[in-house]
Chain A
Amino acid sequence: MAKSEDEELINTFLNDIKEALAKLEENLLHLESSTDPALVNDLFRAAHSVKGGASFLEYKPVIELSHAMEHLLGKVRDGEYTPRQDDIDALLEAVDMIKICLDNPEMSYDITQLKVKLSKNFQDNENLELKNEEVEKKSRPALTLAMETNGPIHAPPPEKNQTLVPDRVSDQVPDQVPCNLPKANETLKITVLKTNKLVSLASELVLARNQILSHQQKKKNADYGGKNAFQNIDRVTTEIQTEIMGMRMQPISIVFNKFPRIIREIANKINKKIKIEIIGENVELDKTIIESISDPLNHIVRNSADHGLEAPEDRIKNGKSAEGKIILKAYHAGGQVYIEIKDDGRGIDAEKVINKAIENRLLTKEQAQTLSTEEKLKFIFAPGLSTAEKVTDISGRGVGMDVVKTNIEKLGGHIDIETILGKGTALRISLPLTLAIISGLIVEVDNLTFAIPHIGFEELLRVTSKDYHDKIFNVENCRVLKVRDELLPLVHLGDCLSLKKNEIKREALAEKGPAKKDLALTNSETILSSIPSKKELPTRWNLKILIVTTGNNKFALIVDKIVGFEEIIVKSMPAHLRYLNTYAGVTVLGNGKVALIIDISGISQKNKLIFDKIQNAVLNFNSKNASKGSAENASVLIFKNNQDKHYAILLSLIRRVDKIIHKDIQTYNGKQFINYMNDTTRIIDFNSSIDMNVEGERKPPAQCDNDGKRLIVIPKNLKRPVALLIGQGVETREIPLKLEENGLGLNDPFVSGTAIIDGKITVLLNIYNIFEHYENDCFSLNKSSLKSKKQIKILLVEDTQLYLKLTTDYLKEQGHQVITADNGKIALEILLTGTAVDLVITDIDMPEMDGLELTENIRSNPQFKCLPIIALTSITNEKSIKRGMQIGINRWLPKNDKINLISTINEIVEAELCK
Chain B
Amino acid sequence: MQISTFRIGEQLYGINIIYIKEICNLLEIFPIPGAKKFEYGLMNLRGNVISVIHPSLFTEYDNNLLGTKNKLLIFKNDDYLRPLLDIDLLKKPMSLGKDLIGLIIDTISDVIEIDDEKEIGPLTPNIPEKLNRILSGVIYHNRQLILIIDLQKFNKNISYIY
A interface residues, Cβ below 8 angstroms from B: 204, 207-208, 448-449, 494, 497-504, 506-509, 571-572, 574-577, 580, 582-583, 586, 588, 592-596
Contacts and interface: CB of A to CB of B under 8 A. Distances in A.
Contacts, number: 79
Which 9 pairs, one residue from A and one from B, show the smallest C-beta to C-beta distance?
A: A497-B33, A574-B99, A574-B51, A499-B33, A594-B42, A594-B30, A576-B159, A576-B158, A498-B34
B43 A594 contact: yes
A583 B37 CA distance: 17
B39 interface: yes
A508 B35 contact: no
B77 to A, nearest CB: 10
Nearest to A587: B49
A503 B37 contact: yes
Contact of A576 (B30, B51, B54, B66): B51
Contacts of A580: 32, 34-35
Contacts of A576: 39, 51, 99, 101, 155, 158-159
Contact of A586 (B42, B56, B98): B42
8 contacts: A497-B33, A502-B31, A502-B35, A580-B34, A580-B35, A594-B44, A595-B30, A596-B42
A499 B41 CA distance: 13
A735 B47 CA distance: 54
Given A502-B35, A507-B66, A575-B97, A588 B159 contact: no
Contacts of A504: 37, 40, 54, 56, 62
A561 B40 CA distance: 24
Contacts of B99: 574-576
A586 to B, nearest CB: 5
A496 to B, nearest CB: 9
Contacts of A502: 31, 33-35, 37
B28 interface: yes
B66 A588 contact: no
A582 B34 CA distance: 9
Given A575-B97, A586-B42, A207 B47 contact: yes
Which of A494, A504, A582 counts the most chain B CB atoms within 10 A? A504
Given A507-B64, A508-B66, A448 B44 contact: no
Contact of B34 (A497, A574, A592): A497
Interface in B29-76: 30-35, 37, 39-40, 42-44, 47, 49, 51, 54, 56, 62, 64, 66
B40 A596 contact: no
A500 B34 CA distance: 8
Nearest to A580: B34
A428 to B, nearest CB: 32
Which of A500, A502, A572 counts the most chain B CB atoms within 10 A? A502
B49 A594 contact: yes
Contact of A448 (B33, B66, B101): B33
B23 to A, nearest CB: 19
Contacts of A494: 33
B34 A586 contact: no
A708 to B, nearest CB: 57
Contacts of B158: 576
Contacts of A497: 33-34
B33 A593 contact: no
A592 B27 CA distance: 11
B51 A588 contact: no
B66 A593 contact: no
B100 to A, nearest CB: 8
A599 B64 CA distance: 33
Interface in B75-100: 97-99
Contacts of B47: 204, 207-208, 588
Nearest to B159: A576
Interface residues of B, number: 28
A574 B101 contact: yes
A493 to B, nearest CB: 9
B49 A571 contact: yes
A514 to B, nearest CB: 13
A498 B33 contact: yes
Contacts of B34: 497-499, 501-502, 580, 582
Contacts of B155: 576
Given A504-B56, A508-B66, A448 B37 contact: no
A577 B35 contact: yes
Contacts of A500: 33
Contacts of A449: 30
Given A448-B33, A502-B31, A506-B31, 19 more contacts: A449-B30, A494-B33, A497-B34, A499-B33, A500-B33, A501-B33, A504-B40, A507-B66, A574-B42, A574-B51, A575-B159, A577-B39, A586-B42, A588-B49, A592-B44, A593-B30, A594-B30, A594-B44, A596-B32
Interface string B86-128: 0000000000011101000000000000000000000000000
A622 B114 CA distance: 75
Contacts of B43: 594
Contacts of B39: 576-577
B61 to A, nearest CB: 13
Contacts of B32: 577, 580, 583, 596
B156 to A, nearest CB: 10
Which of A508, A575, A582, A583 counts the most chain B CB atoms within 10 A? A575
A659 B28 CA distance: 52
Contacts of A503: 37
A449 B54 CA distance: 21
Contacts of A582: 34
Contacts of B62: 504
Contacts of B54: 504
A624 B66 CA distance: 55
Contacts of B35: 502, 577, 580
A575 B30 contact: no
Contacts of B42: 574, 586, 594, 596
A98 to B, nearest CB: 40
A193 to B, nearest CB: 15
Contacts of B28: 593
Contacts of B37: 502-504
Which of A503, A509, A574, A592 counts the most chain B CB atoms within 10 A? A574
A588 B28 CA distance: 12
Contacts of B51: 574, 576-577
B45 to A, nearest CB: 10
Which of B33, B34, B54 counts the most chain A CB atoms within 10 A? B33
Interface string B1-41: 00000000000000000000000000010111111010110
B41 to A, nearest CB: 8
A508 B67 CA distance: 11
A571 B30 CA distance: 15
Contacts of B56: 504
Contacts of A208: 47
Which of B30, B34, B49 counts the most chain A CB atoms within 10 A? B34
Nearest to A446: B33
A333 to B, nearest CB: 32
A509 B31 contact: yes
B14 to A, nearest CB: 23
A580 B98 CA distance: 18
A418 to B, nearest CB: 36
Given A571-B49, A574-B51, A575-B98, A448 B40 contact: no
Which of B43, B56, B99 counts the most chain A CB atoms within 10 A? B99
A586 B49 contact: yes
B145 to A, nearest CB: 27
Nearest to A501: B34
Nearest to A498: B34
A592 B33 CA distance: 19
Which of A204, A497, A576 counts the most chain B CB atoms within 10 A? A576
Contacts of A508: 66
B96 to A, nearest CB: 11
B30 A588 contact: no
B44 A588 contact: yes
A253 B159 CA distance: 42
